[in-house]
Amino acid sequence: MKTALREYLLALADDELILGHRASEWCGHAPILEEDIAFANLALDEIGHASLWYSVLAEIEEQDPAVYPDRLAYFREPQDFRNIQMVELPKGDWAFTIMRQYLFDAYEQVRLEALSQSGYEILAQVAMKIRQEEFYHYRHSSAWVRRLGAGTQESQRRMQIALDELWAYTGQLFQPIAGESELIQAGYVIASENLKDKWQDKVYPTLIESSLVIPATPQLHMNRQTHTHHLEVLLSEMQSVARLEAEANW
């Protein structure tokens, strides 16, 4: 059970951490000042959510919750991360960033809604807390998708390219997480593949309303152990300062 919980919590946390890091790369570079502030906030939120999930894991594994999240974020190797590939892809242009954020935010809405009814108390509590903030993320990214999709010819073109590039990766959102069946049996989680219909119900109408075409490309099905080379590059930067001096008190 502990192994299954570890895999599940790392999946939740690592997605947030890596996406949060990608979002933070816009700090100082977003298209307008207001959005720069908004996106930096959002990056911090995601990293904060990762930290919450790592703390839950710390409790389960009887580790110090003040130290363990940093250990997990900064001292694991790429092959030990359990995030999906979509979040590790380079930030691309603003259209790509917004589209990725949107597709992921919609997924989080669905995943967190299910988790907030978990039979495992702490999972439900943390999911409810994160969900509050994620409502706003979803509003923010969907507002951008509608405006860029139904905006100018150029913004529509870029959004469609982003959607086409990202589509295959969305399959991984609904792949079973290692050990998941054990957690389903315990009443802790619902099957990841059962989240897909709800996600589609959210995403399809918004995309269509935004003058975008749902790609016909098949969605890839990979487990969360396989990563692109982008993760290694991302981590070598993200972890570089912490690894300068493992025991330093920043």
Contacts of residue 189, defined as CB under 8 A and 6 or more positions apart, other chains included, come to 8, 114, 115, 118, 123, 180, 183
In the complex, the smallest distance separating the C-beta of residue 19 from another protein, rounded to whole angstroms, is 18
Which DSSP category does 174 fall into?
G
**Residues 160-178 as b or e (16 or more Cβ within 10 Å = b):** bebbebbbbbbbbbbbebb
CB of 113 or CB of 164, closer to another protein: 113
Q: How far is CA 94 from CA 36, 128, 133, 145, 179, in A?
A: 11, 30, 22, 11, 36
Closer of 54 and 188 to another protein (Cβ): 54
Give the other-Cβ count within 10 Å of 237's Cβ.
10
Closest distance of CB 151 from another protein, Å: 9
The C-alpha angle 227, 137, 16, rounded to 5 degrees, equals 25
Q: How far is the CB of 137 from another protein (least distance, A)?
A: 9
Nearer to another protein, 37 or 214 (CB): 37
Least spacing, CB of residue 143 vs another protein, in Å: 6
DSSP 176: P
Judged by CB, which is closer to another protein: 15, or 45?
Answer: 45
Residues interacting with another protein, by CB under 8 A? 32-35, 37-38, 41, 45, 48, 132-136, 139-140, 143, 147, 244-245, 248-250
Smallest distance, another protein to C-beta of residue 23, A: 13
- Our CB check for another protein shows the closer of 30 and 220 to be 30
Nearest residue (CB) to another protein, 5 versus 56:
56
Contact 247, 71 (CB under 8 A): no
Nearest alpha carbon to residue 123 among 59, 64, 201: 59
- CB 114 → another protein: shortest distance, Å? 18
Q: What is the token pair recorded at 24?
A: 């933070």
Shorter beta-carbon distance to another protein: residue 25 or 133: 133
CB of 142 to another protein, least distance (A): 10
Q: How many CB atoms lie within 10 A of CB 245?
A: 9
Whether residue 130 contacts residue 49, with contact meaning beta carbons closer than 8 Å, is answered with yes
